[in-house]
Structure 1
Amino acid sequence: MMLRTLIRVLLPLCLSFQAMALELTGLDNSHDPAALVKDGSTYYHFTTGDGIWYSTSQDLVQWTPGPQTVFPLNSWPSWIDSAVPDFDGEFWAPDVIYMNGYYYLYYSVSTFGSSRSAIGVVRTPSLNNPNWQDQGMVISSNGGIDEINAIDPALFRNDDGRVYMSYGSWHGGIGIIEINPSTGKTIGSVTHLYGGGHQSIEAPYITKNGNYYYLFVNRGVCCDGLNSTYYIEVGRSTSVTGPYSGWRTILPNHDGKYHGPGHIGLLQEGSCSYVSTHYYDATDGGAAKLDILSLTYSSDWPVLSRDFTPGNCPSVAGPPTDGTYIIEARHSGKALAVANNSSDNGANVEQGSYAGSAGQRWRLSDLGNGYYSLINDRSAKSLDVWEVSMDAGANIAQWDYWGGEGQQWQLERVGAGYFLIRSRLSGHVLDVSARSQSEGANILQWSETDRSNQEWYFRKP
């Protein structure tokens, strides 16, 4: 977020806006917001502010300020005093990701116009009942004019489960580094993605659709209300680390009341893709507010629209075709398996690293009624809700196939090639118990939680 004269503003190439924008209520402020995140049935919107301010919603329209900030006002972790001596308590540009049983919130500490900055991380096991514990510094910059400025973190989980953080502002441009999901800290070294030479580039965000990774960045100057020259570009690559090309404007500097859009984030919820940004409201004296748009794709490029209804999302390609699959849990990468390769009725179903065993493969068959059977490749027995239970927490086992509702499964796409596997009997979904990463962790049915231990990838052997 640094001052610089904008040379030009590109015409929008990938924009689809109509009059039917969401009219959000209850929000007092939004600037450089995190991607929206959900805990249970509650949406969370974290944003720049003293202590890290947030608000909540049940429907993405009516919002309520949180009862307290992430950090108590006028206090911050002690490590910040030496990393950024002039820090005044205003945390910038947070972003949140759920990993291994915790919500990790990444934040920036800096002063305007400086590249002496740092990114830290704080975590909690629940957003609904938070117990925030700071984990310290993730990465820093020391004020060099050519350094990648350590602000504007944005988290991305790849199809293989690896997590990356992009970040940066002006100075040395945009960087990316891998994140350890067990600690929230970095792995390896930074890769330069884009920009540098003190160009007006900041606020990166990466997502993936099909074969392409998409890098969104802000151009222009922020933080000056209706005079801000911010606009948002997007480029694409076949590799998460670039190079990114084909750059085009996706959000212009102004469109009706929406001026200076900044800091794209994405919440993927089933087939719904919700993009959040801030904007300066030309009908309200340039107040910084939250904007929520829908994201779709056309000709392998993203398209944004304000004309949508939450929950009313476009249809997507159907589930895998009939065949034999390795079914892998998104959070662990481990395969759905019958314990000990057993052929017995009642043998337990668990997760395990794929070792080529037939007991780790499943034959998917369309039953013609919107549901599927899943038959183990070794035992020829069906994936089965134990004792025909309707309860959340009921065990999953194998049993001779007889076609009951406890052996019928619905596949629901959740994005990035993953599916929920939902029981026709109970309406619950397959779940790796306690979000465990361990070999032999139990599989049960549970209420949908929007967490990756309930998301499954169907891979051909």
Structure 2
Amino acid sequence: MQPLLLNRSWFLKLLCFFSLAMSGLTASAIELTGITNSHDPSTLIREDDTYFHFTTGEGLWYSTSTNLTHWENPNTVFGDSWPNWINDAVPGFEGEFWAPDVIQIGNYYYLYYSVSTFGTSESAIGVVRTPSLKNPTWEDLGMVVQSYGGVNEINAIDPAVFRDHDGRVYMSYGSWFGGLGVAEVDQATGKLAGPVTHIYGGGHDSIEAPYITRNGDYYYLFFTRGTCCQGADSTYRVQVARSQSVFGPYTGERNLLPNEDGHRKGPGHIGVLKQDGCNYVSTHYYDLSDNGTAKLDIQMMTYLNGWPSMTHNFDTIVQCGGVTEGMYSFTSRHSGKALEVAYASTDNGANIVQYDYFGGLHQNWYVIDQGTGNYSLINAGSLKSMDVWEASTSAGANIAQWDYWGGAGQRWSLNPVGNYVEVQSDLSGHVLDVSGWSSENQANITQWHPTGGENQQWMMIRQ
């Protein structure tokens, strides 16, 4: 089956990359092969050895890759039918789903999608989830947000989701009509946790396809201006603005991707995959060398003087000296036991201990790249941050959980030691340590000066 597109539809390699990008030397761009047609691509996401690319199309279709470059195995989420609520929300809907985006929350992958008809704001965003993308069992959870056709409404299309440094998840969305909005997502339900805040655009200004990511102290709002869906005549271009709050105000709008770059025309719909310390950006473009066919593009993004910069000048998937964002368990090399929040507590100050791993959410941690060489470690059960108790710099201080506030006692480096890592506090320079070299369940985790001992080394296992 060929997918059907809507008409709206750790450091030498890094140094080499920067040398190419900064010196202006020419490197070959990566070549995407197989099923490369795409419009409004989702953020690329990986489960085990497989990447997934969801995109606009009939039945909410997607393709897969094992290397980010060759795409194959097209499939759909809904096939020829869809949830009944869609017919009530968008009368006349014919099965063409727009602009999906996907994120892992706990034990599920949540896929957000929009349903609408071209040129109107009578639209809705829904969400479907599955415990596995490789072997999916899709469960539709219904509507997330709706717009009713008003000229000044935030149009309920183009959802984009991301996880902030504190572990919270936000969804941005919108287009012409009322501009762009953002709201927090309730991670227990996949629905909105609070009101929608208008963040940019409006007045039927040409703007759509928002995507928010964070790097250091700034949130970056990417969006597309111009008109899509006209092949070689499309006027799409990608802009970016920034803010120190996810809710804005976003200022300093500037050009990021021009309307035309060689054979690429009308780029749109950014998503950012944070892998091995690199930022891989997916967009679509219209291929001037192939009759304006809409295709998937992958670029690498770095930050220069506080603003993102994009390049095609890399010819292989590289490691940039970091860890791929996602949900992980941390298992002690010494004891074989996992880091967990004691007794699955959700209280501030609850100790971090070791215990036999059995898959509880309190034994898993969201590893969130802050873009500064440090990571947040947010417990997947409590959504609280791993924290050095009372911001101590003393060896032997307890490691606990606490509401995220962004201090140095909640920032961590993940230093490779063969197949393991040392987890080092940005505050103290000490590393996580199984107290007294214990092999017992409930043994306390403290911080201690690095000794190279196996009780300070942890196997990170992607969940």
TM range (shorter): 0.7 to 0.9
Partner of 2:82: 76
Distance 1:212 1:398 in 2: 32
CA gap 1:17/1:203 in 2 versus in 1, 3 angstroms: farther
**Which sections of structure 2, spanning at least 5 residues, go unmatched?**
1-5, 9-21, 323-370, 390-397
Partner of 1:440: none
Conservation of the 8 A alpha-carbon contact between 1:386 and 1:397: no
* Cα distance, 1:63 vs structure 2: 1.3
Partner of 1:329: 379
| Aligned partner letter, 1:92 | W
* Cα distance, 1:336 vs structure 2: 6.8
Residue 159 of structure 1 is aligned with which of 153, 157, 165? 165
Conservation of the 8 A alpha-carbon contact between 1:374 and 1:382: no
Distance 1:363 1:209 in 2: 15
* Cα distance, 1:45 vs structure 2: 0.6
Deviation string, structure 1 residues 228-280 (Cα, Å, up to 9, x no partner)? 00000000111111111111110000100110001000111131111000001
Are 1:182 and 2:182 matched, yes or no?
A: no
Distance 2:414 2:312 in 1: 39
Conservation of the 8 A alpha-carbon contact between 2:422 and 2:432: no
* Cα distance, 1:330 vs structure 2: 6.6
Residue 250 of structure 1 is aligned with which of 243, 256, 265? 256
Corresponding residue pairs, total: 377
Distance 2:36 2:415 in 1: 49
- Alignment map for 1:291-310 (pairs within 5 Å): 291-308=297-314, 309-310=316-317
Distance 2:25 2:145 in 1: 38
Partner of 2:3: none
Partner of 2:455: 407
Residue 104 of structure 2 is aligned with which of 98, 103, 115? 98
Distance 1:132 1:328 in 2: 27
After TM superposition, the score normalised by the length of structure 2 is 0.72
Residue 52 of structure 1 is aligned with which of 57, 60, 69? 60
Distance 2:284 2:115 in 1: 19
CA gap 1:406/1:221 in 2 versus in 1, 3 angstroms: same
| Aligned partner letter, 1:89 | G
Partner of 1:262: 268
Q: What is the SS of the residue equivalent to 1:187?
A: coil
| Aligned partner letter, 2:379 | A
Residue 149 of structure 1 is aligned with which of 141, 146, 155? 155
* Cα distance, 1:65 vs structure 2: 2.4
Partner of 2:40: 32
| Aligned partner letter, 1:59 | N
Conservation of the 8 A alpha-carbon contact between 1:201 and 1:219: yes
Conservation of the 8 A alpha-carbon contact between 2:178 and 2:202: yes
Residue 71 of structure 2 is aligned with which of 63, 82, 85? 63
Distance 2:178 2:415 in 1: 53
Partner of 2:433: 382
* Cα distance, 1:387 vs structure 2: 7.9
CA gap 1:38/1:312 in 2 versus in 1, 3 angstroms: same
Conservation of the 8 A alpha-carbon contact between 1:32 and 1:263: yes
CA gap 1:297/1:404 in 2 versus in 1, 3 angstroms: closer
CA gap 1:373/1:284 in 2 versus in 1, 3 angstroms: closer
**Which sections of structure 1, spanning at least 5 residues, go unmatched?**
4-13, 321-325, 339-348, 410-422, 430-446, 452-461
Q: What is the SS of the residue equivalent to 2:34?
A: coil
| Aligned partner letter, 2:224 | N
* Cα distance, 1:147 vs structure 2: 0.7
* Cα distance, 1:167 vs structure 2: 0.4
Partner of 1:140: 146
Deviation string, structure 1 residues 394-422 (Cα, Å, up to 9, x no partner)? 9976699995641233xxxxxxxxxxxxx
Distance 2:91 2:377 in 1: 50
Deviation string, structure 1 residues 337-396 (Cα, Å, up to 9, x no partner)? 99xxxxxxxxxx9975579xxxx9999999999975879x9xx9932798889xxxx997
Conservation of the 8 A alpha-carbon contact between 1:56 and 1:64: yes
Distance 2:60 2:318 in 1: 28
Conservation of the 8 A alpha-carbon contact between 1:18 and 1:306: no
Partner of 1:342: none
| Aligned partner letter, 2:62 | Y
| Aligned partner letter, 1:95 | D
- Alignment map for 1:218-257 (pairs within 5 Å): 218-257=224-263
Distance 1:336 1:216 in 2: 32
Distance 2:378 2:110 in 1: 24
Residue 311 of structure 1 is aligned with which of 318, 323, 326? 318
- Cα RMSD, aligned residues only: 3.9
Off by >3 Å, runs of 4+ in structure 1: 16-19, 314-320, 326-331, 334-338, 349-355, 360-375, 384-389, 394-405
Distance 1:112 1:34 in 2: 19
Conservation of the 8 A alpha-carbon contact between 2:176 and 2:204: yes
Distance 1:400 1:160 in 2: 21
Residue 42 of structure 1 is aligned with which of 22, 28, 50? 50
Conservation of the 8 A alpha-carbon contact between 1:102 and 1:124: yes
Residue 108 of structure 1 is aligned with which of 94, 108, 114? 114
CA gap 1:364/1:19 in 2 versus in 1, 3 angstroms: closer
Q: What is the SS of the residue equivalent to 2:153?
A: coil
Are 1:282 and 2:288 matched, yes or no?
A: yes
Deviation string, structure 1 residues 309-335 (Cα, Å, up to 9, x no partner)? 312326775569xxxxx9753772144
Conservation of the 8 A alpha-carbon contact between 1:388 and 1:406: no
- Alignment map for 1:4-43 (pairs within 5 Å): 20-43=28-51
**Which shifted more, 44-53 or 328-337?**
328-337
Distance 2:70 2:258 in 1: 26
Distance 2:416 2:312 in 1: 38
* Cα distance, 1:128 vs structure 2: 1.2
Q: What is the SS of the residue equivalent to 1:189?
A: coil
* Cα distance, 1:196 vs structure 2: 0.7
Distance 1:241 1:113 in 2: 27
Q: Percent identity?
A: 51
